[in-house]
Structure 1
Amino acid sequence: MIMINNLTRKGEGGNREAGDEANRLEALESLGILDTPREPAYDRIVRLVRASFDCDMALISVLDAHRQWYKAIEGADMDEVPVQDTFCRRTINMEGPLVVEDAAQHPNFKNNPYVTAENGVRFYAGIPLKTKNGFSVGTLCAVDSEPRVLREGDLQLLEDLATIVVEQMELREQAMTDDLTGALSRRAFRSEGSRLAALASRHRHPLPVICFDLDHFKAINDTFGHSAGDEVLRTISQTVQKRMRRSDVFARLGGEEFAVLLPETERRGGVEVAEALRRDISALRFDFGGKSVNVTASFGLASFDGQINDLDTLLQRADAALYQSKKDGRNRITAWGDGDVSVKIARRRVLKGGKISFRNGGSTIDCTVRTLGQQGAGLDMIATTDVPNEFRLLIKADGLDAKCEVTSRTRTHLEVEFV
């Protein structure tokens, strides 16, 4: 049991080793929970916490490298805040609960901007959400603007509910179908894709894979909200599935990235399918707040040849072709083997902590690295407004220190190339 108004358990250190942050983010990425829509199971838990504690606010937070994102929140209307200065940032480094009965009197919190603000935080009780591997990916917490003392049984209730939240997250990760789009999950795609790849290799059958990524999708979320983004993803998934045969495998790999496997299809046929999907998607129109919005996608295709016979290499080549499509202007198809498509430009999806450094190191901004390759990266942050077009990207976990040039930006996302 922790000491109230302390930051550690008795006789124990409260902070993890800094090197564990990379593993923590990897555990978070494996759950596939970031930027998913609100779900009733989580909403019910925060309502229960708020009612049981009679507090101003209850929330389930998930923390990546630069922000505290809310899977569920009751008592406030927000999606995320910068991770800096948040109480939950402290909580995820705890071995047990963090309870602050009066933040205004606490030496570690009394000058915190969330405390000194009007109607600021005075009471906080948070439980780290620990995966089965022992990594804290977020918190379940109760927050109030008045100091208070926990009643008997309150902390146990919060811990029990936190356990339920983690179990729900881990069950979600094991699901075979993506809840939002109805496409197969990444886990299911890898399972079925590996099976099909083994069969195609054994019997020397053709097997192309199409990877596609929606262009400037984050701008839709930033401008019109996540509900608009969810509508786009659902509609595009329905559009793609109308083109699929029963034997085809369609999956959402994460965020706005999708993949299609086309068993018993020659490379040329795969290109024709990709072109049909590109046209279908670019023809869609969405009405958000009276404004008509269209969406496009960039495609990459690769197929088995005499050199490869495994799913991972196939996906790597398709990713390289996809990023060539983006580099060439987006809303187009590139097939591996056409022109100068090199695996060097391929990027893999990651979740890593990074820092943007400029003014000779005098200014730094936390970011979350979402894609990474030999020639560039995709970076998320709270706001890109103050980021110059050239800077250094530091990724401590990889020992990376690279000079970057911005190739595109939205309010919260940068695409960069290493120079």
Structure 2
Amino acid sequence: MNRYESTGHLLLTPVDREAPARAVRLRELGLGERPDPELDAFAARVARRLDAPYAGVNFVGGERQFFAGLHHAPQAPASAYPARVLARDHGYCPHVAVRRSALVLEDVRDFARFAGNAVVDESGVRSYLGAPLTDRRGIVLGTVCAVDVVPRRWGTAGLATVKELASELVALFHAREDRRP
């Protein structure tokens, strides 16, 4: 059973008991503290594969989220989204991390828990697709996600694609780790 804490929004942010272990693991891997050009390129690939205006590689901390990889299409509507750093109660990636499973929201306004999220009101986010990045130790490091400002039918193909991309990205993290002295 998930426990949730009130954040002052309609959204209830899940309690993240794995955050301390995740922080240690991210430090070990050198992830989550600065923009990473390779992860920016990966986010652009996610956006292309899913035909989405926004995509990211996000690492969820105890108090904030950091998009080490971020992409927005040049023709995407101007807004405060995407930002490299978001509060933990903004967006949907913290839910993916705690649930340890993918999340598909074709229209976030269809779900009371998600409709009142600040990214809806402040940034115009209307749909979300994200999958966890689970490393070889079983720790969810963060998420790979795609976002749109209009409702989207991601479908089973979109879900399969985001999971496949998450798997590829975790393999990249493992290869980086294996090359370290």
In the superposition, the TM-score normalised over structure 2's length comes to 0.79
- Please give the alpha-carbon distance, in whole angstroms, between the structure 2 residues aligned to 1:14 and 1:31: 28
SS at match of 1:153: helix
How far is 1:175 from its partner?
A: 2.8
Give 1:34's aligned residue.
32
User: Which residue is 1:139 aligned to?
Assistant: 143
Q: 2:132 is matched with which residue: 128, 135, 142? A: 128
Equivalent position of 2:18 in the other structure: 20
Q: Once the two structures are aligned, what percentage of the paired residues are identical?
A: 25
Q: Is the 8 A contact 2:16 2:62 kept in 1?
A: no
SS of structure 2 residue aligned to 1:92: helix
The alignment partner of 1:62 has SS state of strand
Kindly state the Cα deviation for residue 37 of structure 1 after the two structures are TM-superposed.
4.3
Q: Which structure is higher in RCO with an 8 Å CA cutoff and minimum separation 6? A: 2
More strand by share: 1
* RMSD (Å) for aligned C-alpha atoms: 2.3
Report the AA paired with residue 21 of structure 2. Answer: N
In 2, Cα distance between equivalents of 1:81 and 1:89: 11
**DSSP 3-state at the match of 2:144:** strand
Matched position secondary structure for 2:25: helix
Gaps of 5+ in 1: 1-12, 177-187, 189-419
The answer as to whether partners of 2:19 and 2:61 remain within 8 angstroms in 1 is no
Aligned ranges 1:14-413 → 2 under 5 Å: 19-40=17-38, 42-75=39-72, 78-117=83-122, 120-176=124-180, 188=181
- Residue 130 of structure 2 aligns with an amino acid whose one-letter code is G
Distance in 2 separating the partners of 1:85 and 1:37: 19
Deviation at 1:96, TM superposition (A): 1.4
Report what 2:6 is aligned to: none
1:187-240 residue CA offsets vs partner (Å, 9 max, x unmatched): x3xxxxxxxxxxxxxxxxxxxxxxxxxxxxxxxxxxxxxxxxxxxxxxxxxxxx
Unaligned runs of 5+ in 2: 4-13, 73-80
TM-score (norm 1): 0.36
Shift in Å, 1:14: 5.9
Greater helix content: 2
Kindly indicate whether the alpha-carbon contact (under 8 Å) linking 1:120 and 1:145 is maintained by their aligned counterparts in 2.
yes
Give aligned pairs, total.
163
Paired AA for residue 158 in structure 1: V
Residue 93 of structure 1 aligns to a residue in which SS?
helix
> What do residues 362-407 of structure 1 show as CA deviations (whole Å, max 9, x unaligned)?
xxxxxxxxxxxxxxxxxxxxxxxxxxxxxxxxxxxxxxxxxxxxxx
C-alpha distance in 1, partners of 2:18/2:43?
28
Aligned partners of 2:132 and 2:140 also within 8 Å: yes
Report which of the two structures shows the higher radius of gyration computed on alpha carbons.
1
2:35–2:69 Cα contact (<8 Å) kept: no
The SS at the match of 1:128 is strand
Query: Against the structure 1 CA distance between its residues 141 and 36, is the aligned structure 2 distance closer, same or farther, given a 3 Å change threshold?
Result: same
Flag the 1:87–1:77 CA change in 2: closer, same or farther, 3 A. Answer: closer
* C-alpha spacing 1:152/1:38, structure 2 compared with 1 (3 Å): same
Deviations 1:134-184 (A, max 9, x none): 1111100010011111234221111111011111122222333xxxxxxxx
Distance 2:88 2:161 in 1: 26
Determine helix, strand or coil for the equivalent of 2:155: coil
Contact 1:32 1:173 in 2 (8 A): no
C-alpha displacement at 1:18, in angstroms? 5.2
Offset of residue 26 of structure 1:
2.2
- Mark the CA change 1:168 to 1:82 in structure 2 (over 3 Å): closer, same or farther: same
Aligned to 2:130, the other structure's residue is in SS state strand
AA in 2 matched with 1:107? A
- DSSP-derived class of the 2:152 partner: coil
Q: Distance in 2 between matches of 1:35 and 1:19?
A: 20
| Structure 1 residues 80 and 106: alpha-carbon distance in aligned structure 2, compared to 1, 3 A threshold | same
Distance 1:133 1:22 in 2: 14
